[in-house]
Amino acid sequence: MSHAITRLPDEQIAPLIAHYDAAVRARRRHTLIVFGVIAVCIVLAAWMGEVKPSVFFAHADRLPNYFWSITPVLHWDTLGADLSEWYWNLDHWLKLLVDTIMIAYLGTLIGAIGGFCLCFLASANLVKSPFIRLAARRFLEFCRTVPELVFALLFVVAFGLGPLPGVLALAIHTMGALGKLFAEVVENIDMKPVEGATASGASWLTTVRFAVVPQVLSNFASYGLLRFEINVREASIMGFVGAGGIGQDLVEAIRKFYYSDVSAILLLIIAAVMIIDLVTEQVRHRLLGFGAQR
């Protein structure tokens, strides 16, 4: 079977071509305007932030030189002795590293519990009261807006030096961050189980327990593990303000120019973070796959 191709007359094609060309020119103008606005914003930000490329390029070699200076000198013939000298305080650093992981774990756990409790109140599809939603969302915004180090400084003043300020600071920030993520997950659930539970006379808490939580639990766990990865890195610098962890020894070594100690502690932190990231990544992928199968 043959299909004949009908060609439009030239007087009908010409307006279409002109319309297409006008649309292409308008698109290009819009693109150029967007790039122009972005360029102006970059220039203004650099000017207000006193970003000076000449200063950057003039001192760009300082950071590589610093990393070169903290790199220990190792010899193959005396490798064991050199490593022992490099990690002369390994037992103490490992203890502080475990403390750092525990700070991150407790901060994540407490923050996840708080975010779990508040996310349902901040979800528009579960709470019809604008006042309750607004109060829950603004509180979560406050918790995640203030940086962890600021909270840690405040808690160090209130409770003194040690891990407690670090745990509290991470818990508050984690509650705000996870509360927002959890609320977004809840707002994208299938509402048919919720409507069925409500029609059967279930209370609000019962509806959340049996119609909402089973749908979001795997995503909640995945976000919680992801936040734990972040908090391990954050807990590593909590010691900079006296909030416990290995960061306190790291900042002391930096200030006193103990170059070999700086590199040793940094490698321990990097290794711990990489291992935790790899493990939690596998767990998160399994949880997300399990949730998708359900």
Taking only the tens place, the pLDDT of each residue in 124-144 is 999 988 999 999 999 999 999
DSSP assigned state of 237: T
Report the candidate in 181, 172, 111 with the shortest Cα–Cα distance to residue 147.
172
Residue 114: predicted pLDDT: 95
CA angle 140, 145, 151 (to 5 degrees): 100
pTM of the predicted model as reported, rounded to 2 decimal places:
0.81
Residue 290: predicted pLDDT: 55
pLDDT band at 8 (very low <50, low <70, confident <90, very high): low
CA 54/CA 58 separation, integer angstroms = 6
Residue 141: predicted pLDDT: 94
- Range in 9-23, 31-45, 209-223, 269-283 the model is least confident about: 9-23
pLDDT digits (tens, 9 = 90+) for 93-125: 999 999 999 999 999 999 999 999 999 999 999
Q: What are the φ and ψ backbone dihedral angles of 131, each rounded to 5 degrees? A: -65, -45
Mean pLDDT over all residues of the chain? 88
Q: Which residues contact 266 (CB under 8 A, 6 or more apart)?
A: 70, 250
CA 72/CA 260 separation, integer angstroms = 6
Could you give the C-alpha distances from 79 to 83, 84, 85, 264, in angstroms and in order? 6, 8, 10, 15
pLDDT digits (tens, 9 = 90+) for 151-179: 999 999 999 888 999 999 999 999 999 99
CA angle 115, 150, 104 (to 5 degrees): 50
Mean pLDDT computed over 14-28: 83
* Residue 169: Cβ within 10 Å count: 29
CA angle 33, 37, 40 (to 5 degrees): 135
Residue 202: predicted pLDDT: 87
CA 211/CA 196 separation, integer angstroms = 9
